[in-house]
Amino acid sequence: MPRTGLGATVLTPVLGALAGAPWTVIIIALALVLVFFALQTLIPQDSKDRLAWWQDRRAHTVRRRRDRELRRTRRRQDRLERRRKKADPTPLPQAAAPALAESAARGEVR
């Protein structure tokens, strides 16, 4: 169905109802009408097309959430790894570790 004249069909009663209204109300009403037409144009109206559109939108949303969680997990792991490296910048030689543990048990190392 071609949409020629549809705007005039809708706008004429709206403008007639808003005659004498403050200009801000008229602008808001016209903006709402334009938003309505934009949504009608962007969202498909056939049932099969609408279903496909919503399925694609849902898949996109799920994919974005999954990717965001993966990025958060990677950042969290990177942060923990950096903290571990800061806390222990140089590993002790294997021979010194038991001696250090014994001296710590005796209270000699702070």
How far apart CA 103 and CA 110 sit, in angstroms, is 10
Per-residue pLDDT of the chain (110 residues; tens, 9 = 90+): 445 455 566 666 766 777 777 888 888 988 988 898 888 777 767 777 778 888 999 999 999 999 999 888 988 888 888 888 777 656 655 555 666 667 777 766 55
Q: Are 49 and 56 in contact (CB under 8 A)?
A: no
User: What is the Cα Rg of the chain in Å?
Assistant: 33
How far apart CA 107 and CA 109 sit, in angstroms, is 6
- pLDDT attached to residue 95: 58
Q: Quick one: CA torsion of 91, 94, 99, 105, rounded to 10 degrees?
A: 60
- pLDDT attached to residue 36: 86
- pLDDT attached to residue 39: 82
- pLDDT attached to residue 58: 94
- pLDDT attached to residue 98: 66
32: nearest Cα among 14, 50, 55: 14
3: nearest Cα among 54, 48, 38: 38
- pLDDT attached to residue 89: 58
33: nearest Cα among 59, 19, 13: 13
Nearby residues of 11 by Cβ (< 8 Å), 6 or more positions away: 30, 33
